[in-house]
Amino acid sequence: MVVLTSFPIPNVGIVHQEENCSSQVDDHNFGNGTLFITENQVSWLSAEGTGFSLDYEQISLHAVSRDTTTFPEECLYLMIDGKLTDDRESGEDAEDDDDDESATTDVRFIPQNKETLDTMYRNMCECQALHPDPEDVSSGDEELGEEEEGMEEPGEDGDVGHEPFTGSLEGFYTAENIGDGDGDIQLSIQGQATLARLENMLANSQANMPVNGTAPTESMETGQFEDAQS
């Protein structure tokens, strides 16, 4: 069974204090006491001043249980990694250590006032969020590192991984081939004018590209955006 120890009443980081709250670990009920939900631990003290504390890293699950078919009273249920109880005989071999590591312990806090269960649960959620699982944090860092490795360094013009289009327009509909072939695709006069303008912009973009590492001359840049409206 769980061994209750004496420790001072928590007085730092208390988020919720629930008096008249009994506790049960697996099948053993410890009677009435006071539950302290703090930022660093969940502690329970009996009326005699003995109790136990749980670190948030130990708590793999917590929930409000209202199913009275599995337990006679509504309660705040906690699943704890590992065994808090030690039922082995003193002379028994310690070969079950590996099994203890994979085992879990059921802890229940049963307040006399059941209306406080939702508040107890929310406060536990807030406190447990302050203690994220180290494995989850390291996994997130690894995924972030992989995403950063997949990103390309920006070039001198600030462009990231985008090469200028230097190919042909084969496979695309243009002003020259829009009506060719079996599919007689027709555009309105406005649509044809827009398409022709896009082709001219593409042709100008290719003409302004550096040739053999030589930058465009000043004359090429002059009047490049003269059509723009101010």
- Segment 35-76, tens digit of pLDDT: 999 999 999 999 999 999 999 999 999 999 999 999 999 999
Minimum mean pLDDT range among 11-20, 23-32, 168-177, 183-192: 168-177
- The three-state secondary structure class of 96 is coil
57 lies in the same domain as 110: yes
Question: Model pTM?
Answer: 0.57
Residues 49 and 107 in one domain: yes
Q: Does some domain include residue 152?
A: no
DSSP structural state of residue 53: E
Q: Read off the CATH number of the domain in which 78 is found.
A: 2.30.29.30
Same domain, 73 and 175: no
Alpha-carbon distance 182 to 164, whole Å?
32
**Are residue 124 and residue 188 in the same domain, yes or no?**
no
184 backbone dihedrals φ, ψ, rounded to 5°:
-80, 85
Q: Catalogue the long-range contacts made by 64-70 (C-beta closer than 8 Å, 24 or more residues apart).
A: 64/117, 64/118, 64/120, 64/121, 65/108
Residue 228 in any domain: the answer is no
Query: 15 and 118 share a domain?
Result: yes
Task: List the one residue out of 56, 54, 55, 43 whose CA is nearest residue 9.
Answer: 43
Residue 142 lies in a domain: no
What torsion do the CA atoms of 62, 67, 69, 70 make, to the nearest 10 degrees? 0
Q: What is the pLDDT of residues 139-194, one digit of tens each?
A: 555 555 565 555 555 555 555 544 444 444 444 444 455 455 454 444 555 566 66
Residue 154 falls within a domain, yes or no? no
Number of domains in the chain: 2
The parent domain of residue 121 ranges over: 5-88+98-131
Q: Is residue 66 part of a domain?
A: yes
Q: How far apart are CA 155 and CA 161, in angstroms?
A: 8
* Co-location of 39 and 107 in the same domain: yes
The reply to whether 21 and 109 lie within a common domain is yes
